[in-house]
Each structure stands twice: as C-alpha cells, then as structure tokens.
Amino acid sequence: MSRMTDTWILAAQCPSILGTVDVVTRFLKEQHCYITELNSFDDRLGERFFIRAEFRPELDAFNEQSFQEGFERRAAEFGMTFELTPPAKRTGAVILVSKADHCLNDLLYRYRTGQLPLDIKAIISNHPDLESLASWHDLPYYHLPITPETKAEQESQVLDIIEDTGAELVILARYMQVLSPRMCELLDGRAINIHHSLLPGFKGAKPYHQAYEKGVKLVGATAHYINNDLDEGPIIAQGVEPVDHAHYPEDLVAKGRDIECLTLARAIGYHLERRVFLYNGRTVVFGN
C-alpha cells in the first residue's frame, strides 16, 4: 500500500532473538499509536531480523523526541538500530543525468505531482542537453563536463554540490559515467542507479540491437544501490516485460525506456518509504 500522509514510519533491525516483534508493537501500543501497516522478516541464514511499522498516533500530545528516547531504551536490550520518519517528509535529492531524458522526465513529473516525496536540490550532468528541462521546473542545473583527465576534479565538484545542498539521496537517472571507488564509498547506501537488464547480458554499445540479433524474449531493468562493482550493487527493484520476434531494435529500446522509468521510480519510492534494509551487501525490501 502507498503511505498515508498522516502516518509515521519506524524501521528497525537487530540480531534474531526472542521478542523482537513484541518490543516494537508493545511500545507502539503503550504510546497510543495505531499500526496501519506492519512488515517483518527474519533472515535465518544471516540471523538478522528486520521490521517496518507504519503507525498513526492516537493522541495529540505525541512527541517525536520523547518517542525516540523511549524506544531507544527499549531497543538497546535487543541491539536494535532504528529510524523514525515523520509524515510527509520530503527527502532532499540530487539527480545525475547524461543525455537520455526519459528517466529524468518521468521523475520530474512524479516530483511535480507529488507522487514521490522528493525535494530536488539540483540536477547535474556531464552534458548541457537537458538544461531546458531543469529550467522549466525551476531547478538548478550544473553542467560539469568530464574527461579521463578531469574525472577526479569533476567528481569533487559533484560531491561539493551534494554536500552544499544537504541532499540525502543521489539518483543516477541514466548517468553514463562509471563512478570512482572513492565516489562509491562516499555515496554508499544513498545513491540509486538504473540500467537495462537483458538475458543473456549484453554489454557495450547498442545492447538492445545486440539483443534483437539474438532474439531475446525478455526485456527488463534493474535499480540498485551503487557500489564499486559496475551495475552489480544491492538490488532494490527489477522490472521485466516479454517481447518476441515482432519487436525490432527500436521497439526494444522504447520498451526498455518504459521499464527503466517504472523500475527506477519504484525503487526510489521504496527507499523514501524506508522499505529497504541494507545488510551484508544485500537488501531486504518490503515492497507494496
């Protein structure tokens, strides 16, 4: 279900021990909070427990700081870490793009209509092509060209913008640059990338044309957190659509663009609603 505008989110994880569900639900009851959605998962291989509760305070006197302090005392017994997210929180974000505009255009529409609770601080690109799109939405656009010789300098500029704007999330909306190990480390857990997913995998130029030549029957996309392994970070969401011999290369490209937009938006939504937990290089995702 989509998050209600008046609900808070409590997302927590801890070792797998007795009483983990009870410590969350009992505390919420004691605080006169009504649970509207509850998800939990126990990873028996990793011996790790994950829980997410959406709730609505029943008393007008609800105090965020008091709630945090009270639950922190309870959670300590379980070695539980948690995050409390208030209603209608808008997460500051910076979007990185190159020349392709489909993902950016889709995100800006969802941002403009309120489908994604983002506060877009800036759009950064290594090309000038999409500046008019940013200007139409009255958003700052930074054109930062990059070459092999200027890569380190350009990435430092990108990081400066992220830091100066206070952005909590970085979205790579078809940003066609490989990030350095340093960049990946600094953005760990807060940068989401999207790319095509074809079976078998086709790398290099014109992957959809390669796929057409092989007669692929599925076209898809993967959204994931970035890491130092190219396009192999922890997966948040994937999308797939069947195709057949009647789909020419341009049809595969068009279908791939649609899936990329939907999959990226879904992954961002999961992240914003605290439905994604990172642990040991993997994700636990309480999708809706």
My answer on whether 215 and 150 are in the same domain is no
Burial (0-12, 13-18, 19+ Cβ within 10 Å), 235: middle
Reduced to 3 states, what is the DSSP secondary structure of residue 231? Answer: coil
My answer on whether 202 and 280 are in the same domain is yes
Q: What is the pLDDT of residue 231?
A: 67
* CA–CA separation, 170 and 191 (whole Å): 4
My answer on whether 271 and 194 are in the same domain is yes
Q: What is the pLDDT along the chain (288 residues), one digit of tens a residue?
A: 455 678 999 999 999 999 999 999 999 999 999 999 999 999 999 999 999 999 999 998 899 999 999 999 999 999 999 999 999 899 999 999 999 999 999 999 999 999 999 999 999 999 999 999 999 999 999 999 999 999 999 999 999 999 999 999 999 999 999 999 999 999 999 999 999 887 677 777 788 889 899 999 999 999 999 988 766 799 999 999 999 999 999 999 999 999 999 999 999 999 999 999 999 889 999 987
With CA atoms as reference, report the closest residue to 13 among 81, 78, 72, 73. 81
Look at residues 65, 85, 105 and tell me which one is the last residue of a structural domain: 85
Report pTM: 0.94
In a domain, 15, yes or no: yes
In a domain, 90, yes or no: no
Q: What is the pLDDT of residue 77?
A: 94
My answer on whether 196 and 285 are in the same domain is yes
My answer on whether 123 and 166 are in the same domain is yes
Q: How many C-alpha atoms does 273 have within 13 Å on its Cβ side? A: 27
Q: What is the pLDDT of residue 3?
A: 58
Domain count, the chain: 3
Look at residues 85, 120, 146 and tell me which one is the last residue of a structural domain: 85
Length, in residues, of the chain: 288
Query: What DSSP designation does 209 have?
Result: H
My answer on whether 182 and 200 are in the same domain is no
Q: From the CB of residue 124, how many other CB atoms can be counted at a distance below 10 Å?
A: 22
Report the C-alpha dihedral over residues 191, 194, 200, 201, rounded to 10 degrees. -70
Residue 157 belongs to domain with CATH number: 3.40.50.170
In a domain, 248, yes or no: yes
My answer on whether 61 and 101 are in the same domain is no
My answer on whether 201 and 279 are in the same domain is yes
My answer on whether 216 and 271 are in the same domain is yes
Q: Which of 119, 231, 251, 258 is catalytic?
A: 231
Residue 16 belongs to domain with CATH number: 3.30.70.260
Spell 151-173 as b/e; 16+ CB within 10 A means b: eeebbeebeebbeebebbbbbbb
* Beta carbons within 8 Å of 53's beta carbon, 6+ residues apart: 9, 10, 11, 24, 25, 28, 35, 37, 38, 39
Structure tokens at 106: 């889709």
Residue with tokens 């997460």: 91
Q: How many helices (H) and strands (E) does the chain have?
A: 8, 13
* CA–CA separation, 198 and 221 (whole Å): 8
User: What's the domain range around 40?
Assistant: 8-85
My answer on whether 110 and 63 are in the same domain is no
| 251 tagged catalytic | no
In a domain, 160, yes or no: yes
My answer on whether 75 and 109 are in the same domain is no
* Beta carbons within 8 Å of 207's beta carbon, 6+ residues apart: 196, 198
Look at residues 187, 213, 241 and tell me which one is the last residue of a structural domain: 187
With CA atoms as reference, report the closest residue to 126 among 148, 97, 105. 97
My answer on whether 137 and 207 are in the same domain is no
